[in-house]
Amino acid sequence: MIDKHGFRANVGIILVNDEGRVFCARRCGMSAWQFPQGGIKRNETPERAMYRELREEVGLAPDDVEVLGATKGWLRYRLPKRYIRYHQQPLCIGQKQIWFLLRLLGGEENVRLDLGDEQEFDAWRWVDYWEPLGFVVPFKRSVYERALHEFADFVGQMWGVAERDAYASPRD
């Protein structure tokens, strides 16, 4: 679903383990690492889209996670011009995302990257909470930073995660 401003509705997932580390996955055949994310289908709520994407991309079911929170509103980023498909209508210039913070309840043995129609990721790992700011593609960095900041106090209270100052992003 693309809104009248050209932003595609999307969900993002920050999955945290019992050590306060977050799940990142590598795009198939690429060196790009990111959080799971995906589009919201027509007549689908953000929460339903999140559970669908979680199953398709990570192989986890609702019983495998606990929802700890969601961003208060949409977080937006624009696509670089080279990624905009000008020949497609409606024109998509970027994404607007609701981000969810999830806690893995069971063991990581349920993680499977091959359940979706098209496998998006070929590897995964746990990383320190702020670490993704150092490796996510630059045009998504501000959204990652805003989502991580929105959940930082909660994650810090639960797992004692250090403040962001300890993890300067490459542009700092």
What is the residue-wise DSSP string for 52-106?
HHIIIII---GGGEEEEEE-SS-EEEEPPGGG--TTSSS---EEEEEEEEEEE-S
Domain 7-166, CATH among 3.10.129.10, 3.40.50.300, 3.30.1130.10, 3.90.79.10: 3.90.79.10
The pair of structure tokens assigned to 147 is 């989502």
pLDDT values of the chain reduced to their tens digit, one per residue, 172 residues:
887 887 889 999 999 999 999 999 999 988 889 999 999 999 999 999 999 999 999 999 999 999 999 999 999 988 888 878 888 888 777 889 999 999 999 888 999 998 878 889 999 999 999 999 999 999 999 999 999 999 998 888 888 776 665 444 444 4
Predicted confidence at residue 67, as pLDDT, reads 97
Give residue 166's pLDDT. Answer: 45
Q: Which residues contact 33 (CB under 8 A, 6 or more apart)?
A: 24, 25, 26, 27, 125, 132, 135, 136
